[in-house]
Each structure stands twice: as C-alpha cells, then as structure tokens.
C-alpha cells in the first residue's frame, strides 16, 4: 500500500496497481507496456497498437470490435504511444461503467478485462500472421502522423532540437518511429516484432474503481493468459550528461516565421528530492503566462509570437520554444539567455514564486478529480522508483524559496541552440 491509495501486487507477469474507490461511476483501466527506445524496434513497436485496435480473434472485423464496446454500455477504448526518458511506452485505456449503475447480466469489469486481454494477446490473424489489409492501412495512419509533424513547424522545431541535442542517445527517437522504416514492416515481420515486444515489455496494469486487488488479480490470470510469473521493472539508467560547449544548429526550410528552440540539461530528475525545485524553475522561467520568457521576450520586447519552456523530469532535460521574426535571431538569443542568467543569479520575485506555486498547486489538486490522472501520477513512481504522493509534492513546492530555485538553476546548462529559418535571403 502506498500513500496515494494504490495497492500493488503481481499476476501473470504484470505489475498490478488497484485503487479501490467509490468516488467514480466508472472503472478506469490502464495498461502500460514499456520497452527501451531503440532504433531497430521503435517503428514496429509504434505500429503494433494501431493494428491491435483493428480486431481480435473473437471480433476480427473492426465493426465487430466497435460493436463489442457498444455492448459494454459504450465503454471507451483508446491508446497512446509516447516516450518517458529512454523508454517507449504504449498505453491502452478502457473506461467502463460500474455494474451497479446498469442492469447487466455479466460483470462489466470482467468483460472489459476479457476484451483488453484479447486486444493484447489474441489479435485478429490470417494465415498465422497479422491481416495484411490492417497492416497496410495502419502503416499509412502512422506515416500521416509523422508527416503532420513536419508540416507543423512548431512541433517540427521542438523535435529537431531534441534530435540534435541527443544525437547519440535513444531519446533522439520519436515515439512513433521513422517514416523510412515503415515500408519494410510486412504483416509477417510486424507479427514477429509484436511477439518479441509482448515478451520483452514491462507491463503495468492499473484499475481505479469499486473493486479489490484480489478480484483484479483473478481477472488478469483468467484473461491475459500469460504463463509467466516473472515481472520486469524499470531500471533507471539515468546518468546526467555533462555539457562541454553550446552547439548551434541552423536549418533552412520554407518558413515565414523563425523557430528558435533551446535545449538545456539538468542533473535533477523525477526521483530526486529536489524535483520540486526543478518544477518551480521551469514554471518561473517559461511554464506559464506569468513566466519570465513570456513577459520579457514576448510582452516587453515584442520579440516572439510565443515563448515558453518545458521540463522532462524523466530525462533531466529542459527545452525552450519560441517563434520569432528571422531577423531578430541575435536579439532573441540574447534576451532568452539573459532570462537564464536571471534565474542563476536568483533574481526571482515573491510574485513569481507565489504565482508559480498557485499554478502547480492547481495542477496537482486537479489530479484527484480524474482517475486517469491519478493513474498517470502513480505510473511516474513505477518509472522512477520514487514514491512521492501528490500531497508530498505539493508541500515540497510550497516550501520552495528563491534560493532553492537558484540552486536548481545552477544545475540547468544550455546545451543546444536550434534555429529553423527561412530559405529566402532578405
């Protein structure tokens, strides 16, 4: 039992996390499957869930698959593919109404498990491999998603900055994979990849709702039919990268507006006791509309169409995104760098501290209102090996002063400046 209310156990080679509660009218079910990010497997792993959602052994046609969800009183089913640190995570979600609210002959939680277990372990096959029509269609789905990043220059610049900064690390890879690798993924190859992905993945299954860990473990054994009892764990291999010099990368494309992105590295990650100070650092620097980047770069100097920062606590990376007129490049770099120096010098007002705390407090208190947010907060704990409740994090944020933020600022080092500029010479 941990202080967020989740009870933890194991069954069928999965880690099980159950939060028994009557607070919600539905069961929230989330299954995370994580593997290390790797060039050889990133694209096939990304494509697998797209094919799995097309049909299962009992509901091979996509229409039957969707009708089955309707029969479960309109249960919701979806998935995501993303990266956390150097891992690629596939997350399946189901949202099912609690039996006590409907006249149902069968246990809806049990039926949902039967459905999810089949999605994961018994996909629709032809001749012992994935259906070729499903693979062909879903390859195009993934291709379009990857192409849409190139067309969205804000996202493109953010991705390219990370690629350049982490060019020798798995983190450079996009969680949806690489377009060049899609065509080689035949139904046969993809089916092989799926099997090795399923064997190798670290599996975490979450349930929030009116149930018990005992009931969930029974359902997992019955419906996930994995004959393994060995559970795997995320071994945190984080080693901070030392920045020796700032690299500048310029790329020319047909854009009317320049995109200036910067990548920073820090030694503070989610599992550190000083994680709250890094959250505060990011919030004051560029996380919110009252932040230094927004006020100074965008409002006071009118240099940027947008200017903000993000912090990835699983990787120890901070990023700055801004959109500027191409000719203002030098000026924008100067003024953004100046904000970084202000942070390092500890020039942080009481107002900046209190507004940032209020923003983080709101985000943390909203977690309690959503079963899936509670799940995702606890999953950070599984990834990092750090047990910290939302309340503890809130208390740490509340207790953070300007000196603490200054100490965090000292760990953030500018690593890469990436500038996406227009092709036309002015």
Residues 200-214, mean pLDDT to the nearest whole number: 96
Residues 193 and 145 in one domain: yes
Q: 210-237: per-residue pLDDT in tens?
A: 999 999 999 999 999 766 667 788 876 6
What is the domain extent for residue 339?
Answer: 247-422
| Residue 99: per-residue pLDDT | 73
Residues 287 and 176 in one domain: no
Residues 399 and 359 in one domain: yes
Residues 196 and 259 in one domain: no
Q: Helix or strand or coil: residue 421? A: strand
Give ∠ CA 108-119-100 in degrees, rounded to 5: 10
The span from the CA of 14 to the CA of 87, in Å, is 17
Residues 58 and 136 in one domain: yes
pLDDT at residue 1 is higher than 50: no
| Residue 2: per-residue pLDDT | 42
Query: What CATH number should be reported for the domain holding residue 214?
Result: 3.30.830.10
| Residue 404: per-residue pLDDT | 98
| Residue 203: per-residue pLDDT | 95
pLDDT band at 4 (very low <50, low <70, confident <90, very high): low
The domain boundary, picked from 189, 223, 257, lies at 223
| Residue 195: per-residue pLDDT | 96
pLDDT at residue 285 is higher than 80: yes
The domain boundary, picked from 172, 191, 223, lies at 223
Q: Is residue 2 part of a domain?
A: no
Instruction: Please report which residue ranges of 183-261 form alpha helices under DSSP H.
Output: 187-200, 213-223
Instruction: Please report which residue ranges of 25-61 form alpha helices under DSSP H.
Output: 42-52
Going by C-alpha positions, the residue among 311, 301, 303 that lies closest to residue 356 is 311
Q: What percent of the chain has pLDDT over 70?
A: 95
DSSP annotation of 23: S
Residues 183 and 324 in one domain: no
Q: 51-99: per-residue pLDDT in tens?
A: 999 999 999 999 999 999 999 988 999 999 999 999 999 999 999 998 7
Q: Mean pLDDT for the chain?
A: 93
Residues 318 and 194 in one domain: no
| Residue 209: per-residue pLDDT | 95
Q: 333-344: per-residue pLDDT in tens?
A: 999 999 999 999
DSSP code per residue over 267-323: S--TTSTTHHHHHHHHIIIIISTTSHIIIIIIIIS--EEEEEEEEETTTTEEEEEEE
Q: Is residue 88 part of a domain?
A: yes
| Residue 232: per-residue pLDDT | 83
pLDDT at residue 422 is higher than 90: no
Residues 281-286, mean pLDDT to the nearest whole number: 98
Handedness of CA 173, 246, 418, 412 (dihedral sign): positive
| Residue 242: per-residue pLDDT | 84
Q: Is residue 63 part of a domain?
A: yes
The span from the CA of 230 to the CA of 110, in Å, is 24
pLDDT at residue 267 is higher than 70: yes
Enter the tokens of residue 53. 């959602």
- How many domains are contained in the chain? 2
Residues 344 and 390 in one domain: yes
Residues 4-18, mean pLDDT to the nearest whole number: 91
Q: Is residue 233 part of a domain?
A: no
Q: Is residue 390 part of a domain?
A: yes
| Chain centre to alpha carbon of residue 53 | 20
Residues 57 and 172 in one domain: yes
pLDDT at residue 304 is higher than 90: no
Residues 281 and 384 in one domain: yes
Residues 185 and 261 in one domain: no
Q: Is residue 29 part of a domain?
A: yes
- pTM of the prediction? 0.94
Residues 279-286, mean pLDDT to the nearest whole number: 98
Residues 213 and 317 in one domain: no
């Amino acid at each position: 039992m941990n202080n967020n209310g989740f009870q933890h156990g194991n069954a069928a080679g999965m880690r099980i996390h159950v939060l028994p509660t009557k607070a919600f009218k539905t069961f929230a079910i989330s299954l995370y499957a994580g593997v290390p990010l790797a060039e050889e497997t990133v694209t096939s792993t990304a494509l697998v869930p797209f094919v799995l959602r097309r049909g299962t052994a009992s509901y091979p046609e996509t229409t039957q698959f969707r009708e089955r969800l309707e029969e479960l009183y309109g249960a919701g089913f979806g998935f995501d593919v993303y990266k956390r640190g150097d891992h690629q995570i596939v997350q399946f979600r189901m949202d099912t109404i609690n039996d006590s609210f409907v006249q149902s002959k069968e246990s809806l939680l049990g039926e949902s498990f039967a459905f999810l277990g089949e999605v994961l372990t018994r996909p629709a096959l032809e001749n012992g491999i994935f259906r070729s029509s499903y693979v062909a269609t879903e390859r195009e789905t993934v291709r379009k998603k990857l192409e849409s990043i190139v067309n969205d220059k804000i996202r493109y610049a953010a991705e390219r900055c990370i690629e350049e900064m982490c060019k020798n690390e798995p983190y450079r890879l996009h969680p949806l994979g690489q377009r060049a690798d899609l065509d080689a993924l035949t139904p046969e190859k993809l089916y092989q990849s799926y099997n090795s992905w399923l064997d190798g993945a670290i599996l975490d299954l979450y349930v929030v709702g009116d149930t018990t860990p005992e009931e969930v473990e029974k359902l997992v054994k019955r419906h996930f039919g994995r004959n393994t009892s060995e559970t795997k764990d995320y071994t945190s291999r984080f080693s901070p990268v030392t920045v020796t010099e700032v690299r500048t990368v310029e790329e020319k494309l047909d854009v009317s507006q320049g995109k200036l992105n910067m990548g920073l590295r820090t030694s503070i990650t989610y599992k550190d006791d000083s994680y709250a100070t890094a959250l505060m650092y990011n919030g004051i620097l560029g996380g919110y509309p009252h932040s230094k980047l927004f006020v100074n770069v965008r409002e006071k100097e009118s240099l940027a169409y947008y200017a903000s920062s993000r912090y990835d606590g699983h990787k120890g990376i901070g990023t700055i995104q801004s959109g500027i007129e191409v000719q203002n490049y030098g000026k924008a770099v100067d003024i953004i760098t100046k904000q970084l120096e202000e942070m390092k010098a500890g020039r942080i007002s009481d107002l900046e501290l209190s507004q940032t705390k209020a923003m983080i407090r709101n985000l943390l208190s909203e977690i309690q209102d959503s079963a899936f947010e509670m799940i995702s907060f606890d999953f950070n704990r599984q990834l990092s090996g750090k047990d910290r409740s939302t309340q503890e994090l809130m208390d740490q944020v509340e207790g953070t002063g300007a000196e603490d933020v200054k100490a965090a600022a000292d760990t953030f080092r500018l690593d890469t400046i990436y500038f996406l500029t227009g092709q036309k010479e002015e």
